[in-house]
Amino acid sequence: MSEAQTSEAGGYNFAYLDEQTKRMIRRAILKAVAIPGYQVPFASREMPLPYGWGTGGIQVTASIIGRDDTLKVIDQGADDTTNAVSIRRFFARTTGVETTEHTAEASIVQTRHRIPETPLREDQIIVYQVPIPEPLRWIEPREAETRKMHALAEYGPMYVRLYEDIAQYGRVTTAYDYPVLVNGRYLMKPSPIPKFDNPKMDMNPALQLFGAGREKRIYAVPPFTSVKSLDFADHPFAVEQWDQRCAICGAGDSFLDEVITDDRGGRMFVCSDTDYCQSRQPAKAAE
């Protein structure tokens, strides 16, 4: 407890976790960074938020956050979704650090299901909340077996799965949490981001950390590391596209959420990344 910090929320340490726990998590993070894409088991703690609601990401953030950090939390790309609000509030309460909704201003971005549209920089860390860390889980339910498969880089069954999709539907039918190969070695689940976001992971200047609380695993993609979405030479990986543009900011390059506007089939498409959308609105107004 050398650096025991006073508490912002009566009775709890800075960022909730005690210092020994943070040290344990940081060790797991260092190991994860040293072996890109490898899932490091760690002694995940019960958090005051439920499992499946971001406890892995919260523990990673709690272990790396310092007083000078600026935190952004998004869920589905948006800062104002209820769970993002709740997690941002949790850190505001337990650390007192500054929070922001602007991607460019954040030093740490904790996310569920999206990577911001605004490119990340070297001085930023993105923390992903991960529900199921094991990319081979739907192929092999047993952990003892999947760990062996990773050790032997036995990824054939995953290619077979993708091939079966192509044979049956003419394309790979995984639209999110699309498997990637990290640094040419470990197969990794990118967490349930749409495959639209997969290319952003490749050679990203920011450090990418992944926390799975319930499954007790941490993994990482260090800056400027190759992240390749699995594909075949004759069926190259491709991201989804929309026929529409964002109805608010006019963006044609962002992931769009569909919003149902009435009960007669009326719908509109808007950016899922609210910060990106807002930052473009003055631009559109000037047009």
Partner 1 sequence: MYVAVKGGEKAISAAHRLLAEARRGDPAVPELSLAQIDEQLALAVDRVMTEGSVYDRELAALAIKQARGDLVEAIFLLRAYRTTLPRLAVSRPIETEQADLRRRISATFKDLPGGQVLGPTFDYTHRLIDFALAAESDGVLAVPPTAPVESAPMPRVSSLLGDEGLIEPNPADAREPRDLTRDPLSFPADRATRLQNLARGDEGYLLALGYSTQRGYGKNHPFAGEIRIGEVEIEIVPPELGFPVVIGEITVTECEMVNQFKGSATAPPQFTRGYGLAFGESERKAMAMALVDRALRAGELGEDVTAPAQDQEFVLYHSDNVEASGFTQHLKLPHYVDFQAELNLVRRLRAEWNEPQAEAAE
Q: Which of 37, 77, 211, 213 is catalytic?
A: 37
Asked if 116 interacts with partner 1 (CB under 8 A), we say: no
Per the residue annotation, which of 54, 77, 211, 249 is the catalytic one?
Answer: 249
Query: 21 φ, ψ to 5°?
Result: -65, -45
77 included as an active-site residue: no
Tell me the window of 141-149, 151-159, 182-190, 229-237 that interacts with partner 1 (CB under 8 A).
141-149
Q: Burial, 204: exposed, middle or buried (Cβ in 10 Å; 0-12, 13-18, 19+)?
A: buried
> Which residue's CB is nearer to partner 1, number 70 or number 81?
81
244 binding partner 1? (CB under 8 A)? no
Q: How far is CA 186 from CA 35, 38, 106, in A?
A: 9, 6, 29
122 binds partner 1 (CB under 8 A): no
- Exactly one of 36, 131, 179, 222 binds partner 1 (CB under 8 A); that residue is 131
Q: For residues 18 and 62, what is the distance between their CA atoms, to the nearest angstrom?
A: 10
Single residue of 259, 281, 283, 284 touching partner 1 by CB under 8 A: 259
Q: Candidates 63-71, 85-93, 203-211, 222-230: pick the segment binding partner 1 (CB under 8 A).
A: 85-93
Residue 17 in contact with partner 1, rule: CB under 8 A = yes
Half-sphere exposure of 272 (CA within 13 A, CB side): 22
Stretch that binds partner 1, among 61-69, 98-106, 189-197, 219-227 (CB under 8 A): 189-197
Residues 6+ away with beta carbon under 8 Å from 96? 8, 67
Among 26, 27, 70, 86, the residue binding partner 1 under the rule CB under 8 A is 86
Question: Helices 55-64 and 82-95 sit at what angle, rounded to 10 degrees?
Answer: 30
Q: Which residues, numbered 32-61, are part of the site for partner 1 (CB under 8 A)?
A: 41-48, 50-53, 55
Applying CB under 8 A, among 37, 77, 190, 211 the residue interacting with partner 1 is 77
Summarize as ranges the residues that interact with partner 1 (CB under 8 A): 12-13, 16-18, 21, 41-48, 50-53, 55, 75-78, 80-83, 85-86, 89, 112-114, 131, 141-144, 169-170, 173, 175-177, 192-196, 214, 216, 240, 242, 247-248, 255-259, 261, 268, 270, 272, 274
Residues assigned a catalytic role? 37, 246, 249, 271, 277
